[in-house]
Amino acid sequence: MNNKFLLSNIIRFVLLIALQVLLLNELPLNRAYLMIYPLIILLLPVFTPRLAVLFIAFFTGMIIDVFSNGGGLHTAALTAVGYLRSYILDTFQPRSGWDKLDVPNISQQGLTWFFYYSLIFFSIHHWLYFFLEVFSFTNFFATIFKTMISLFGSLLLMWILTLFFMRNSRE
Partner 1 sequence: MRSIYYLLSRFYVLILFVLLEIFALSLIFKSHKYQEVRLLNASNTFTGTVLGYINGSITFIHLGTTNKALVEENTLLKKMILYQDKYPVDTTLPKRSALYRFDYIPAKIVNNTISRSINYITLNKGSKDGIQKGLGVVSSNGVVGIITNVSENFSLAMSVISVKSLISVRHKNTSALGNLRWNGDDAFTLQVDGFSKTLPIKKNDTIVTAGFSSIFPPDILVAIVKNLKADESTSFYDVNVRLTNNINRLSYVYIVKNDKKKELDSLQIQVNNE
**What are the angstrom distances between the C-alpha of 36 and each of 16, 100, 102, 157?**
7, 27, 22, 8
At its nearest, how many Å lie between partner 1 and the CB of residue 151? 14
Nearer to partner 1, 29 or 111 (CB): 29
The smaller minimum CB distance to partner 1, of residues 3 and 136, is found at 136
| Residue 59 or 113 having the CB closest to partner 1 | 59
| Residues in contact with partner 1 by the rule CB under 8 A | 21-22, 25-33, 50-51, 54, 58, 61-62, 65-73, 75-76, 79-80, 82-83, 130, 132-135, 139, 142-143, 145-146
In whole angstroms, the minimum distance from the beta carbon of 107 to partner 1 comes to 29
User: Would you say 21 or 161 has its CB closer to partner 1?
Assistant: 21
> Minimum distance from CB of 60 to partner 1 (Å)?
12
Q: Give the nearest distance from C-beta 167 to partner 1 in angstroms.
A: 31
